Amino acid sequence: MFPEKTRGTLETALKKGGEVIMDHQGTALETTRKEKISSVVTKADLAAEKAILEILGNTSFPCNIISEESGFMDRGASRTWVVDPLDGTSNFAAGLPWFGVIIALFHEDQPVLGGMHLPLEKAYYMAEMGKGATLNGTPLRISEASNLEEILVAYSFDFSDTPGKTRSEMQVMERLSERVRNIRSTNSLVDFCYTARGWLGGAVNQTTKIWDIAAPWLLIREAGGVVTDITGKDLRFDLSVGSLDRNYTIVAACPGVHRELIKLIQPT
């Protein structure tokens, strides 16, 4: 679907973003709160974003760009790069090893090329629509588990000021804990990477933005998984200017347990 140079541009941007992030690791990082207490930004986010956008902005074909910190850059193109320059900022700022770079390329409203880079692991997770998913060039396949008791599930959680949402999520985690082997969470791209790799049976997050989940959506589907919202419906991405604050819910899992996870999240 894409010329080699397009995939090369993505790989270069992922690598450069990771290098910039690692240049800031171990330094005193001042965090700036964004819209809520669990959402922060550091100099590493901004520096990585600048480096990534310089690379993506120099491609031979015009693309719009949506980036977590810079917002929407409209070039009137049918293709759009969607960038999270440092996913897992709170982890990174705290010295935890759960962070990385996420970049997806959309054609119209569909992710068609995506990558996630975990710089500490030197791991590059790549996916292209219809061509599968890889980890450092090796094909990925999601877990074949068919029993919830066999799997670990990642459940990411952030505070919400929506009335009743926090309590509702606590109840979901209670139901999950009674059925799955155990619950884990890095609240970052790591959860999706490990799901695609088969180490986790699924990943659930009810508070995400488009840059958090576009590449994971493609990666896990191409690895053989199922990805929906928490009601079991297909995710529909919206790249319009006014939609960047839209919240997405996501349940990404191996086919053998996805339906059962949905039933636990949305009991009848």
**Tens digit of each residue's pLDDT (9 = 90 or more) over 172-206:** 999 999 999 999 999 999 999 999 999 999 999 99
Assess whether 158 and 100 both reside in one domain. no
Assess whether 95 and 215 both reside in one domain. no
Please say which residue of 99, 122, 139 terminates a domain. Answer: 139
Please say which residue of 139, 164, 182 terminates a domain. Answer: 139
Assess whether 38 and 64 both reside in one domain. yes
Assess whether 9 and 125 both reside in one domain. yes
CA 52 to chain centre: 17
Q: In this predicted model, which residue has the larger pLDDT, 35 or 79?
A: 79
Assess whether 92 and 178 both reside in one domain. no
Assess whether 11 and 132 both reside in one domain. yes
**Residue 1: closest CA among 126, 131, 111:** 131
Averaged pLDDT for residues 71-83: 91
Assess whether 83 and 27 both reside in one domain. yes
pLDDT band of residue 268 (cuts 50, 70, 90) is: low
Phi-psi sector, 123: left (phi>0), alpha (psi -120 to 50), beta: beta
Assess whether 189 and 123 both reside in one domain. no
pLDDT band of residue 159 (cuts 50, 70, 90) is: confident
Kindly state the percentage of the chain with pLDDT values over 70.
93
Assess whether 111 and 161 both reside in one domain. no
**What domain count does the chain have?**
2
Please say which residue of 105, 139, 173 terminates a domain. Answer: 139
pLDDT band of residue 75 (cuts 50, 70, 90) is: confident
CA dihedral 267, 231, 210, 4 (to 10 degrees): 120
Assess whether 19 and 104 both reside in one domain. yes
Mean pLDDT of the chain: 92
Which domain CATH number covers 59?
3.30.540.10
Assess whether 26 and 90 both reside in one domain. yes
CA distance 93 to 97: 10
Q: Range of 80's domain? A: 4-139
Assess whether 194 and 168 both reside in one domain. yes
